[in-house]
Chain A
Amino acid sequence: MTQLSRLLRATTLIGWAAVADAQDDGQWTRPGKDLAATRYSGLTGITAANVARLRPVWTFSTGVLGGHEGQPLVVNHTMYVVTPYPNVLYAFDLAKEDYPLKWKYRPAVDPASTGIACCDAVNRGAVYADGKIVYNLLDGHTVAVDATSGKELGKVRVADLKRGETITMAPLVIGNRVIVGPSGGEFGIHGRVDALDLATGRIVWTGRNTGPDSSMLARTGTFKPFYARNAGPDQGQRSWPGDTWKRGGAPVWGWLSYDATLDLLYYGTGNPGPYNADQRVGDNKWTSSVLARRPRDGALVWAYQFTPHDNWDYDANAENILVDLAVGGAMRRVLVHFDKNGFAYTLDRATGEMLVAEPYVTVNWARRVDRATGRPVVDSTKLTGASRGRIERICPSLEGGKSPASPAAYSPKTRLFYLSTVNLCMNWQSTEAAYIPGTPYVGATIPYTPGPGGYLGAFIAWDAATGRKAWEIREKFPLWSGSLATAGDVVFYGTLDGWFKAADARTGKPLWKFKVGSGVVGAPITYTGADGRQYVAVYAGIGGDWALLSGDLVSNDPTDVRPPADFAPDLARYTSQGGMVWVFAR
């Protein structure tokens, strides 16, 4: 039997029923699966006992080479795939053998956006709501496409390339509001979120991440920060010198979550600009923070800054996963966030009180996070800025202890979080930066070095109630993929050298792996097929920061030939670019 016919046979309708969790409809309609962003599926067809029999049943080349971050959606037996620039949207018919395309949507995207995007032309995916697929184009537009016909229903400009803004994040729909925000923390943007009306595309409100209360939608009586130091008017303006908040960054390139009971939208903000901290003395609120807003009118309800006066490009764009946990003996409604700064935070999501903050990777820029004030206790020898010269060996590197690009998952069965971590440190030399619109507003040279221990990444399981690591799987290269947790007690992740792997959710025992061709920087999903079986899908397609850092991964441009990254010189020995959708079943 040929390889091809074997693959085709595997996709025929065999009719094994996956034992589905009563709450799980077998679809994947939002970036993080649910509004709480858990990336947990109740499907139990694939278990720790049978995952070793997992095999590829279908693949599709997206024809695009950029970093394939994010995840497909599966709605009504249709799989929706958004590619990196030029942001093609594919709709595959999962009810037919071979998964043929129903349609593909190819928007006009300004190629200039590929030069303005800081870190490869990535896109973190789409969201489904009300018969529409909604996602963002790199050049600053939000589009809504009819999920059935592929017809463009609307296209709205929400970011401006000329001001260094692009969009890479996946929107979230809450009721009739589509929430989006721009990237551009390296371009001196003025960060914000916009809420669009799902039916008309009209911008209903804009909430800035820095600046006076009026533009931040921080209203007396509604804005109630937990810590006393954050009370008082215009925090987002007064914690900056002069008008530097206007180009102070705070992009929104990560993930959104929503608690319906509290009616709060949560999102993280990115780094302050420029990187040279001397040019922005003060806390620089609300950069490198989590903000809680009311989706109806955008009102800011609370904010918490993970890294005040961020000296290290520690964006806080990582997902905020909403779960209920017993912390210190009491059940708390918490938000769990693995920050680039190396600490894992468990916050009370109603108030913004910090409950637990422990390092999940090697951290040396701060000694700890003070429980009483919620502030990190910074090691002053690790502070940066043009006046301080070159600072050696800061851990973690600005890639983050975990990248916000690679979202974690949570299993309510094991009560553990699962995440990809990066074991790198950095040296930092700042210089004065000049603001020129549409060009980088950075002012720093930051080479990386391997972290301690002789490995560059690890997949870990984390107990957010106590702030302890349950187990880890060390990897040769930094890990940059999202995670998937399932009720079958199997967790999934991918590696930069192109392995897609499954491990036992309880013990961390490696159970299965398959080489998908290109490094994995996307996030796996799982769904029930038209035949009732459980499938797992993931993108291959290395990119994102790795396209910049390991420039020798690029093989399609004879005019751009670069040496390997000195901290991971042999990555290109194992992988190169190439976007593929993979689907597995047992």
Chain B
Amino acid sequence: MKEGLIQQFEGYGEVARDIEVCRKYGIDYTLEKGSVEKFINRLHPGRMTLRVADIIEETPLDGTLRLVPEDGYLPPFQAGQYITVSLETGNIRTSRPYSIASPPNQTGYYDITVRRVKDGLVSNHLLDRVERDDVLVCSGPAGNFYHNPLIHDRSMVCIAGGSGITPFMSMIQEIVDCGLDREVFLFYGSRTLEEVIFRKRLEAIAGRFPNIHFHPVIENPPEGYGGYKGLITGSLVKDVVGDVPGTTFFICGPQGLYDFCVPELEKLGIPGKKIRTEAYAPAAPISNQPGWPENISPDDRFEIRIKDGKVFSARAGEPLLMTLEKEGIFVPSECRSGQCSRCRVKIISGKVFQPAGTPVRRSDRRYGYVHSCVSYPLEDLEIMI
């Protein structure tokens, strides 16, 4: 009936002819099998297998792994982004993010520079057990810590601490290799002079390129050291850089660096939007974080019950994600610093601590979803994965 009526409508004949013609000469969709995946993998592969082509000792604390693709292709990234290395060590399947230290214009390999963390699970594995020709499984490049030309100034003050130099190494090399119109003032805080990663290379670059300025700032300098000493203070930055408007500040390092430097910059009158910080996992012990309840010790233990699954005990001071991994429960993760929501789980009952400022979606908060990489149990929990 409907068909019949439509046929009476003005212009039906023409439309009917269109339908016939289009079907005849149209698109054979069966040929598109796999095409979406193919295109996406060129930019954002979910998983890459990279071979360790070389291991370069940087300082007594750090080593660089030079990673080449097994299949010959490395996806592009923006200088400052990281990859996440997944591996199994001591029977625990886990992962850690590492910024790519090589520049994006280096298309043959990614360098990751790993600093040894005392009692750290993965850093020690990567530095001590991984050998040349080993294969690592990694995520595609990700992260939001990069120079965005739409909002960031051409003049950048970069403040690094410890292994936080890696994203800046990538940015600086790209700037000089590709002749980008940008100026960098790099302040690199380090406990000792020996622990300054890439020191020789950075000095050489700064010596050759007038738009790159390198200032190590050493906390415990050797006797007679002529460079900057102590911490990276606002007045030091102002003395060196001069006028700060028209400059964007980038900070990357351990939590202590942000806690100290951000207020220092704010004292100079720099607006919050000009200060960009890389994500970081909260410093241990977690009980030092603002908002941690006084009556709970990081060593307190609580019972975790997985919906339809295991029950086990967890330490308050250990991220839920880590506890799950130790229990052999796999939860995908990427940034491990609360930013990407990859490790999101639902807390059905019980309370967890999440550091202030963790970017959890508003409706996720409402329905009890947390980012497990930065969530710490404060009560017995039931969770859904």
A is bound by B: no
Question: Interface of B with A (CB < 8 Å)?
Answer: none
